[in-house]
Amino acid sequence: MPLSQRDIIRVCEILAEQEQLECTVRHSLVGACYAFGGALLGGILGGPVGLGVGSAAGGALAAYKGHGKFKSAVYVIMYEMTERDRQRLADAMGEVIRNIDASDVITVITLLNTNAVLRNSAIEVLKRFLTNDVGVKFVQ
């Protein structure tokens, strides 16, 4: 019996949790702009010392503004994806795990944990889908 859509989504959630995938929804660029702006303004006003102080202040402002903007991929899958997105993710992940003869989530996860090539393929599909279709960026 093939896995249901919900089972495949659960596999994705477990993989994301095991890999500790953290992501942001387009806020890293804004933070970089704050840091750059602080460094530029500090450098213009205070020279080399101002450059250091300005970049630190810009970085601190970026951290303050970005607080709470980073989420786990598990959270995104569970709470922020539409049902249509979940179906498309299940279809994409189903292509990777379709040859696994397993009828439950535990068996699939066990097989993914013991087969590095299959696991890496599944993680790449998950990351690619979340990046291209949901619009998240992964924190390294």
Between strands 137-138 and 70-72, the pairing is unpaired
Asked whether the predicted pLDDT for residue 2 surpasses 80, the reply is no
How do residues 72-123 score in pLDDT, each as one tens digit? 888 889 988 899 999 999 999 988 887 777 778 888 888 888 999 999 999 9
For the record, the structure tokens of 24 come out as 């942001």
Give the angle subtended at the CA of 43 by the CAs of 41 and 48, to the nearest 5°. 155
Residue, of 99 and 17, whose pLDDT is higher: 17
Q: Which of 79, 95, 97 is nearest to 134 (CA)?
A: 79
pLDDT for 140: 60
How do residues 44-76 score in pLDDT, each as one tens digit? 888 888 888 888 888 888 777 766 667 788 888
pTM recorded for the entire structure: 0.65
pLDDT for 34: 80
pLDDT for 15: 92
Q: Which of 120, 126, 110 is nearest to 74 (CA)?
A: 126
pLDDT for 122: 93
Helices 105-114 and 5-19 sit at what angle, rounded to 10 degrees? 40
pLDDT for 83: 92
Helices 116-129 and 105-114 sit at what angle, rounded to 10 degrees? 110
